[in-house]
């Protein structure tokens, strides 16, 4: 791996050097020429060039990415919540009592205004009802079915079509330069793992996320794992450095997020020795995607933005820095 990846990697850097940065056909083609693109390419070159003062050996090249709002869209609701609502609908025939009970009543009615106000308790009730009581394998199948068929209400496309082309290019470039790429998301680990390899090139074991308790038991004589309606770990905010330590065991040198829930991951990344890259995606494009920040209940970017400005972290202005947002926009 090392040798082949190194050759690919050297080729990529070689090309970046030979062409002016504005020749976007070469590396990170969907990134417009600007400070974020320059900062990323500069960082990658500094930490991977033998002899550079900032050189990082391959095992230290850990890159972590938030998922919702960083690798794919998170509006008008987190996609996993859309999945949960669809599961409520699918399971409703077995739960006649849901018709008259909140938050299920609103979920069944598709009453997004009411659902927006259900709070954490209501949200956990919906997650518990739809994400437990089955084996891990059975849950994986429901995710696979949904992700292959459900469509986004505005774009009328599969949710996995709504990933960010510039971030796909960035992750591919990092891997070519022998980085190991991880997802570190507040979303459910078992909601992401079934499709991250296919969509992002990230295998299940490189996905860190929130999780519920899982119980080992024999079911019909077969050893299996059953999902229980109990939260085990919330991989958000200060939980992100904890999750990184638990799953990866090394401090990242490169981290990308988009909201206040990513602040501690970026701080923790910044706190290590040697060269570091911290990035935030700022959603500024209401036409091609969505525009939101300090006031948004979903993906709020407020404190982390202030810290990014103060500490000179890279803030991507989606509208001006990304020439293409979704893969389907490419001609």
Give the binding site for a second copy (CB under 8 A). 1, 3-5, 59, 136, 180, 189-190, 193, 197, 203-207, 211, 214-216, 222-225, 238-239, 241-242, 245-250, 264, 267-268, 270-271
Give the shortest CB-158-to-a second copy separation in angstroms.
22
Contacts 24+ apart (CB under 8 A), 107-111: 110/85
Measuring CA to CA, how many Å separate 57 from each of 96, 172, 178, 331?
58, 19, 9, 38
Give the shortest CB-219-to-a second copy separation in angstroms.
10
Choice between 278 and 325, CB closer to a second copy: 278
Q: How many CB atoms lie within 10 A of CB 83?
A: 21
Choice between 73 and 263, CB closer to a second copy: 263
Choice between 62 and 325, CB closer to a second copy: 62
Give the shortest CB-251-to-a second copy separation in angstroms.
9
Residue 145 near residue 99, CB atoms below 8 Å: no
Choice between 268 and 322, CB closer to a second copy: 268
Closest CA to 208 of 230, 162, 240: 240
Residues with Cβ within 8 Å of 65's Cβ and at least 6 positions away in sequence, in order, are: 71, 167, 171, 181, 182, 183, 184, 255, 256, 257
Give the shortest CB-132-to-a second copy separation in angstroms.
14
Give the shortest CB-99-to-a second copy separation in angstroms.
34
What residue spans of the chain are helical by DSSP H? 2-18, 35-48, 79-91, 104-109, 112-116, 119-131, 136-149, 165-176, 189-200, 239-247, 263-270, 303-311, 318-321
Distance CA 105, CA 86 (A): 13
Choice between 132 and 211, CB closer to a second copy: 211
Give the shortest CB-187-to-a second copy separation in angstroms.
14
Choice between 5 and 26, CB closer to a second copy: 5
Give the shortest CB-311-to-a second copy separation in angstroms.
12
Choice between 117 and 203, CB closer to a second copy: 203
Residue 263 near residue 242, CB atoms below 8 Å: no
């Amino acid at each position: 791996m090392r040798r082949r990846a190194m050759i690919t990697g050297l080729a990529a850097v070689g090309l970046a050097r030979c062409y002016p940065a504005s020749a976007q056909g070469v590396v990170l083609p969907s990134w417009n020429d600007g400070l974020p693109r320059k900062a990323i390419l500069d960082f990658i070159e500094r930490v991977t060039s033998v002899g550079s003062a900032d050189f990082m050996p391959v095992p230290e090249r850990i890159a972590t990415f938030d998922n919702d709002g960083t690798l794919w869209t998170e509006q008008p609701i987190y996609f996993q919540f859309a999945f949960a609502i669809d599961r409520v609908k699918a399971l409703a025939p077995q739960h006649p009592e849901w018709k008259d009970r909140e938050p299920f009543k609103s979920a069944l009615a598709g009453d997004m205004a009411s659902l927006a106000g259900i709070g954490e308790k209501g949200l956990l009730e919906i997650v518990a009802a739809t994400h437990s009581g089955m084996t891990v394998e059975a849950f994986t199948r429901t995710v696979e079915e949904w992700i292959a068929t459900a469509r986004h209400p505005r774009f009328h496309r599969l949710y996995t079509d709504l990933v960010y082309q510039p971030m796909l290019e960035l992750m591919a470039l990092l891997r070519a330069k022998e980085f190991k790429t991880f997802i570190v998301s507040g979303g459910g680990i078992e909601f992401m793992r079934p499709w991250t390899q296919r969509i992002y090139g990230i295998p299940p074991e490189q996905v860190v996320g929130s999780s519920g308790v899982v119980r080992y038991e024999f079911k019909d004589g077969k050893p299996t794992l059953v999902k229980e309606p109990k939260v085990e770990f919330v991989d958000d905010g200060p939980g992100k450095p904890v999750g990184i330590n638990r799953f990866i065991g090394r401090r990242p040198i490169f981290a990308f997020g988009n909201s206040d829930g990513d602040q501690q991951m970026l701080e923790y990344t910044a706190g290590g020795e040697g060269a570091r890259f911290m990035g935030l995606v700022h959603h500024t494009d209401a036409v091609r995607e969505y525009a939101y920040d300090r006031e948004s209940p979903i993906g709020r970017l407020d404190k982390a933005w202030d810290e990014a400005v103060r500490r000179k972290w890279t803030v991507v202005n989606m509208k001006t820095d990304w020439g293409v947002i979704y893969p389907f926009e490419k001609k």
